[in-house]
Amino acid sequence: MPELEAPAPSDPRVIVSGRSTAENLTGNWRTLRPSIDAARCTGCLICWKYCPEACVALTEKVPVIDYSYCKGCGICVEECPTRCIGFAPEEAA
Residues that bind ligand SF4 (CB under 6 A): 34, 36, 41-47, 51, 53, 55-56, 63, 65, 70-76, 80, 82, 84-85
- Residues in contact with 68: Cβ distance below 8 Å, sequence separation at least 6, in sequence order: 25, 26, 27, 55
What Å distances lie between residue 25 and 16, 21, 62, CA to CA? 21, 9, 23
Q: How far is the CB of 58 from ligand SF4 (least distance, A)?
A: 9
Counting beta carbons within 10 angstroms of the beta carbon of residue 26, is it exposed (0 to 12), middle (13 to 18) or buried (19 or more)?
Answer: middle
Given the rule CB under 8 A, which residues bind other proteins? 2, 4-6, 15-26, 29, 43-45, 48-55, 58, 66, 68-69, 71-75, 77-79
Toward other proteins, which CB reaches closer, 28 or 37? Answer: 28
Nearer to ligand SF4, 1 or 27 (CB): 27
